[in-house]
Structure formats: C-alpha cells, structure tokens
Amino acid sequence: MKNIYSHNAIIHLMKNMQKLIEPLNLIYYEYDKETNSFLLDQNYSNEHIFEELIKITYILSKQNINFFVDENKSLVLNSKDTLLAKTKRIIGSVVQNLKNNSLPIYVLNDKKVKWAKNLPVIKIETIKCDIDFSSYDALIFTSKSAIYSLDSYNHKWKSKPLYVIAPQTAKAASNLGGKIKFVSKEKHGNEFAEELLPLLKNKKVLYIRGSKIVSNLVEKLNANSVICDEAIVYQTVCVAFKKKIVLPKKSIIIFSSPSTIECFLKNALWDKSYTAISIGHTTQKYFPPYITPIVAETTSFDSCVKKAIELI
C-alpha cells in the first residue's frame, strides 16, 4: 500500500503508537518502541496469536503505516535497511558475547528465556483447594503460578470469565483454554483493583492466589460493592543449596518476585560487581538497601533480558 503520509506525520504516528493500539488489548504481541516493532512472544502458539496479528495489521493498514512480518512472525514498522542491518549487527555482537560467557545473565527460576541462564532458587508447591466455581461470576488471577497450580488438578476454572493482571498472566491462562475477559494495564495489585471496581460491581468473584501477596486487592474490592473470596492454590519456597552460590564477576541477575530476592540472598553473598534487574516496581521495593536494581520496561522476562543486553 502506498504511504500517503509525510515523513513527519509517520514519526508522529510512531510516537503515539501505544495509544493507537491500546484498544486492541494485545497479550501475545508487545510493541517495542526502540526497534519500532511488534514482537511476538515465541513461547506460545495458538489461534489467538493469528487473531492478534490480524488486528495489528488492520490498524496499521488503516493508518497507512508500512510494515513487514519477519521470520519470527514479529511485525517491523516503517523500517529502513540501514536500521535493520544495524540492529542485526548489535544483536549478533551481543549473542557472540553471551556465547563466550563474557557477561552471564541469570534468571532465578526454571523458565527458559533466550540468552539467559537458569538458576532456580525458588520452587512452587501446589496446594489443593476444593472450589465450587458455580457460585462465582468471575475469577481473578495475578500470577501464572496460580493458573498452572490450579490447572494441575482442576480444569473447571476454564468455564468462568477471567480478569487477569499483565499480558504474561493472560497468555498463560489463554494458552490453557481460559476465557480472558479483561487484562489489566497496571502492574500492581492495588491499581489492578481500581480497574476492576467498575467491571465487577455487585458481582461475586474469586481471587485465586499464592500464600503470599503484596497488595490489598481483596480488601479494596470488598469495600466497594464487590464480593471477593480467596483461594490459595500454591506456595513459593526457597531451594536449599548445600553450598553458597558463587556467580562470575559482573553477572546480571534477574529478580522476578520478592521471593527470588529472599531466596537468592539466603543462598548467595551479593558481590558489588553484580547488577540486579527487577521485573517491576513492586519487586523493586523488596531489595535490601545495599542493592539498587534496574527496573525492566515491562513485567516480562524477555523485557528483563533485553534490559540486561542494553548494559553490555
């Protein structure tokens, strides 16, 4: 399609891309403003990905924004060969450095993330809970662990509309067959509760969670015309290492929850050459005073690894 916009108009559109795509409620594609691309999460593959692809291409075509789909099914917008070549050179250099283990990046669980090594310091233990889903209008999830733990012994949750926090949680639920009704734009439970109030007013809902939470979501809902019960379906415990963990100097360590901070520091001594990356501002609050983390752009492991790569 011929682009009828001027160069300046295209730049303006790119700057306002987040507002443009907000109504699409994307969970599998994430807009990355630095590369001007919609990046597909490669960990998932289902019919919902195609639905999102159609939504994105439609709105881009409607705005006369040029794009192409690359080999990873990500969408690259208004690209120039020079920019693409530069990006590939940078990524190639980073990959080579990582292959040479010159700057190790560690994820503190068993989730496989491209360009990062796994160092599981936590483990999830399922807690079986007898739930009568028929008495609830909707279910609330704020973590993938709650979804996976519940699904390991009960599949009836999939019949209910789901209200979830963050795209990563939504992807986990959707991939298992859950019916996503709402995905929060916020990253913390208290702000999530504010979004839920008008959506769940006068409804009876169930918040399915772990044994530890860092928000007042339930109290907030119950105080504002929402009947909200809780069901604890998992607990996070520390892995006990026989010896202290010793990582290479200048390691970059990704912390995805307050539990990963607690469990890592139980098993390792912090070295001043290390760099801590926090998956979000909530986790950031739980670091001891002697560690100043860098916060990722979004609450995803891919975003954390990307932030780590920027430090190279």
Model confidence over 34-63: pLDDT tens digits? 778 888 887 776 777 888 888 989 888 888
**Is the confidence at residue 4, as pLDDT, over 50?**
no
- pLDDT over 90 for what percent of the chain? 53
What string of DSSP letters covers the chain? ----S-HHHHHHHHHTHHHHHGGG--SSEEEETTTTEEEE-TT--SHHHHHHHHHHHHHHHHTT--EEE-TTS-EEES--HHHHHHHHHHHHHHHHHHHTTSS-EEESSS---TT-EE---EEEEE------GGG-SEEEE--HHHHHHHHTT--GGGGSEEEEEHHHHHHHHHHTT-EEEEEES-SSHHHHHHHHHHHHTT-EEEEEEES---S-HHHHHHTTT-EEEEEEEEEEEE---SS-B-PPTT-EEEE-SHHHHHHHHHHBPPPTT-EEEESSHHHHTTS-TT--PEEPSSSSHHHHHHHHHHT-
Of 219 and 74, the structure prediction assigns the larger pLDDT to 219
